[in-house]
Amino acid sequence: MLGSDQVHGFNSAMNADSSLPRQTGPSLAERSRQPEKPGVLRGQVWLTIQTNQAQQLIHGRAGTPDKPAIIGLVGFADRLRVIWLAARRDDPYADWWLIKVHEAVEANESFIRHRQVELDKHLEQMTGMEVNVASSQHPYRVQLQFANPYAYRAAQLVASYDRLVCTALTARHIGLLDGAAYVQVQQACARKLRALFMLPQGYRLLKIDRDRVQKAMGRSHEARQIMGEVPEAILSGERQAPLVPRKMAFPTGVAAHVGLHPTSPATRMKTSEVENPDG
């Protein structure tokens, strides 16, 4: 049984506890408030090369009365942007061209890699000599801003070609390659890359979609005349490139006015925004 002093102390302690602020859960307003989302993602991509040969592949060559134009990496990426956006609008011909680009990129990667391995083996077989592959004291560095991943894969091909040319020049300098063999290596790879860069030029933007092609409506007949009969597996959607844009459905009358035109060269060598696939 508690004494009077104990009862007074117990009551005082209870009163003191009741004066403390009580922890409560978040209010309904706080629970319903959405957290602030992160801002737009931004990044930078730079391509650094050592050789004039690789630099020429980046910018290509303007046409003259005596010489035809040569499409470079920048022109390739510019035209490929149109195809990428058309594929987003469900143009099956754009899907077809993305497959062609993907296959050409894969073939070029294999071709350059094979020749790089051959040259590396020759250099490794040198006995009593340590050979460092030639590099530029003032490499060329350019910032890239492309609208699709295949343009960046093509830029990586230019970097791989640049490394191959440096290796071939080094092998020629120390007598492992004669002049004719060096030219053959350098020109064979350059021709294949230029052929890749020309691929998007065969596509024509006719503002059609899969449904119109399947029903032979709109300009689908013109598309068949210009670009051929799209394979059934691509038309049905069964076959597509590994890297494709997310399809977007535009309201009728809006899609026909969406501008899918190449951007100016001045807008492509700046800081790139990374597309959020979920935003």
Residue 189 lies in a domain: yes
Number of domains in the chain: 1
Place of tokens 């020309």: 198
Is residue 29 very low, low, confident or very high in pLDDT (cuts 50, 70, 90)? low
What is the chain's length?
279
Question: Distance (Å, rounded) from C-alpha 35 to C-alpha 33?
Answer: 7
Contact 84, 208 (CB under 8 A): no
Residue 278 lies in a domain: no
Q: For position 41, what pLDDT does the model report?
A: 82
Q: How far is the CA of 17 from the CAs of 4, 7, 11, in angstroms?
A: 20, 15, 10
Q: Encode pLDDT of 49-107 as tens digits.
A: 999 999 999 999 888 888 888 999 999 999 999 999 999 999 999 999 999 999 999 99
Cα angle 71, 61, 103; round to 5: 20
Residue 275 lies in a domain: no
Question: Distance (Å, rounded) from C-alpha 151 to C-alpha 197?
Answer: 10
Q: For position 227, what pLDDT does the model report?
A: 95
Residue 135 lies in a domain: yes
Domain span at 181: 44-255
pTM of the model: 0.76
Q: 3 is written with which tokens?
A: 């004494």
Q: Encode pLDDT of 244-278 as tens digits.
A: 998 876 554 444 444 454 544 444 444 344 444 43
Residue 216 lies in a domain: yes
Residue 13 lies in a domain: no
223-260 burial, b if ≥16 CB within 10 A, otherwise e? beeeeeebeeebbeeeebbeebbeeeeeeeeeeeeeeb
